[in-house]
Amino acid sequence: MLIHRGYRYRIYPNSQQAILFAMFFGCCRFVYNYFLALRQKVYASERRNMSQYECMRLVTELKRDKDHLWLTGCDSMALQEAIKDLNKAFVNFFEKRAGYPRFHKKHYAQSYRTRNQGHSVRIEGNYVIIPKVGAVKARISRLPQGRILNATITRTATGKYFVSLCVEEELVPKPNNGGVVGIDLGISDFYADSNGHSVPNPRALRLHEKKLRREQRRLSRMIESNITGYCKGPKGGRVPVYKKPLSECQNIQKQRLKVALVHEKVVNIRTDMQHKISTRLVSENQVIAVESLNVRGMVRNHKLAKAISDVSWGRFLSTLEYKAFEHGSDVLKVDTFFPSSQLCSECGYQNAKVKNLGVRKWVCPKCGAVHDRDVNAAKNILSKALGTVGHTGTGH
């Protein structure tokens, strides 16, 4: 069975190559925005949706136009991929999976995608070959084991470059040890499991998160002190008036970079931890029961918002699911409204006092079992997933 797998490498373009990347980012953004505007115009005047192929034909014409000759310097496959992305955004909108497509702005993460045609994208030693750019120095960790389909080049807010290769590979099934576990993704800990283990968030993560909040506060104070007043915006809202445009404020730009660097660090620590934990879970267990939390609904609850976004459950679960697929393990999801923390995992008694998040340990008033809040919840998640909840005396 063939699967698609991503390989991401840090790349180090020389100054010439960095100029080309900047130009390609700009061309792709231009094409995306140009056709978004054109599709809007055509829809308004002719009541029809332009197809992807119509746009692709037009981009060829556009390149011959004397005002758009600069587009000919760009990787033409990258322009086609930008049109595909726009089309995808429209399809998602029509099928009610997303809002109406928006214009891409320059300060968004910069990236473009190109296809591999007849080995135009490949790895040679410590270099990645990228169409129209050439050999870009890279830090290659593990080599792809199949056919490279496409490459996405990204420049982060902190000025680092990465290439992500999408590779078609034969699925090599990996073993698991046949265990069964329930996990409760937590607030004070990253998670607790039904075997009584809890995994704390790394200390480095907490420290950097604290630093991130501090630097963000500093940044917003700097921006505030640059505001002279407010005026009415085009949509009626209040729009701040600045003493000096933010792009010209050296100190604010410096602080922005600082925030981006700390943010990058936090994301890296988190991703690293999530990979380690998910690999361990899928190699040890055949069944992993988790709560399918309605993250969006919970983030609105401000008290929990920070903790939830911190542990970034959604991303962890998707990492867990794709690894489970490779190891032949099952991730079972238990629905959101199940009161997993309040039920005694021994006798099924529902203790409303446990609703309070401050209660970490409790004794069941009915059977006297002593519970750690999160471990008990994890046990309930497991038995609910296995369909045995409500049966008294589980485990006897």
Tally of CB atoms within 10 A around 169: 15
Residue 330, classified by CB atoms within 10 Å of its CB into exposed (0-12), middle (13-18) or buried (19+), is middle
Q: What share of the chain is helix, strand, coil (3-state, %, to 5)?
A: 45, 25, 30
Q: Considering the complex, what minimum distance in angstroms separates the CB of residue 366 from Zn ion?
A: 5
For residue 109, what is the DSSP state? P
Options 11, 130, 308, 364; binder of Zn ion; rule CB under 5 A: 364
Is residue 9 within 8 A of residue 141, CB to CB? The reply is yes
| SS3 at position 131 | coil
Residue 6, classified by CB atoms within 10 Å of its CB into exposed (0-12), middle (13-18) or buried (19+), is exposed
Angle between helices 302-311 and 313-327 (to 10 degrees): 40
Is residue 326 within 8 A of residue 284, CB to CB? The reply is no
- Choosing from 75, 81, 193, 291, the catalytic residue is 291
> How distant, in Å, are the alpha carbons of 5, 6, 77, 138, 141 from that of 144?
9, 9, 22, 14, 10
Options 274, 346, 362, 373; binder of Zn ion; rule CB under 5 A: 346
Q: Considering the complex, what minimum distance in angstroms separates the CB of residue 380 from Zn ion?
A: 11
Based on CB atoms, which residue is closest to Zn ion, 146 or 390?
390
Q: With CB under 5 A as the contact rule, which of the stretches 10-18, 72-80, 132-140, 342-350 interacts with Zn ion?
A: 342-350
- Active site includes 184? yes
The four Cα atoms 77, 80, 86, 92 give a dihedral, to 10 degrees, of: -80
How far apart (Å, rounded) are the C-alpha atoms in residues 133 and 128? 10
Q: Looking at this protein, which amino acid is placed at residue 26?
A: G
Is residue 341 within 8 A of residue 353, CB to CB? The reply is no
349 binds Zn ion (CB under 5 A): yes
389 binds Zn ion (CB under 5 A): no
How far apart (Å, rounded) are the C-alpha atoms in residues 112 and 218? 33
Based on CB atoms, which residue is closest to Zn ion, 256 or 379?
379
347 binds Zn ion (CB under 5 A): yes
Based on CB atoms, which residue is closest to Zn ion, 359 or 369?
369
Based on CB atoms, which residue is closest to Zn ion, 277 or 347?
347
How far apart (Å, rounded) are the C-alpha atoms in residues 89 and 49? 13
Per-residue contact track with Zn ion, 99 to 138, x per CB under 5 A? ----------------------------------------
Q: With CB under 5 A as the contact rule, which of the stretches 60-68, 99-107, 266-274, 363-371 interacts with Zn ion?
A: 363-371
Q: Considering the complex, what minimum distance in angstroms separates the CB of residue 384 from Zn ion?
A: 16
Q: With CB under 5 A as the contact rule, which of the stretches 202-210, 339-347, 371-379, 386-394 interacts with Zn ion?
A: 339-347
Based on CB atoms, which residue is closest to Zn ion, 219 or 369?
369
Based on CB atoms, which residue is closest to Zn ion, 209 or 346?
346
Q: With CB under 5 A as the contact rule, which of the stretches 146-154, 163-171, 225-233, 369-377 interacts with Zn ion?
A: 369-377
Q: With CB under 5 A as the contact rule, which of the stretches 34-42, 252-260, 338-346, 377-385 interacts with Zn ion?
A: 338-346
How far apart (Å, rounded) are the C-alpha atoms in residues 350 and 344? 6
What does residue 168 show for φ and ψ, rounded to 5 degrees? -90, 120
- Active site includes 291? yes
Residues 188-217 that bind Zn ion (CB under 5 A): none
Based on CB atoms, which residue is closest to Zn ion, 12 or 349?
349
Based on CB atoms, which residue is closest to Zn ion, 50 or 344?
344
Q: Are strands 127-130 and 122-124 parallel, antiparallel or unpaired?
A: antiparallel
- Active site includes 372? no
- Choosing from 75, 81, 184, 209, the catalytic residue is 184
Residues 247-286 that bind Zn ion (CB under 5 A): none
Q: Considering the complex, what minimum distance in angstroms separates the CB of residue 143 from Zn ion?
A: 54
Q: With CB under 5 A as the contact rule, which of the stretches 124-132, 190-198, 240-248, 343-351 interacts with Zn ion?
A: 343-351
How far apart (Å, rounded) are the C-alpha atoms in residues 386 and 396? 16
| SS3 at position 379 | helix
Q: Looking at this protein, which amino acid is placed at residue 72?
A: T
Active site residues: 184, 291, 374
Residues found near Zn ion in the complex (CB under 5 A): 344, 346-347, 349, 364, 366-367, 369
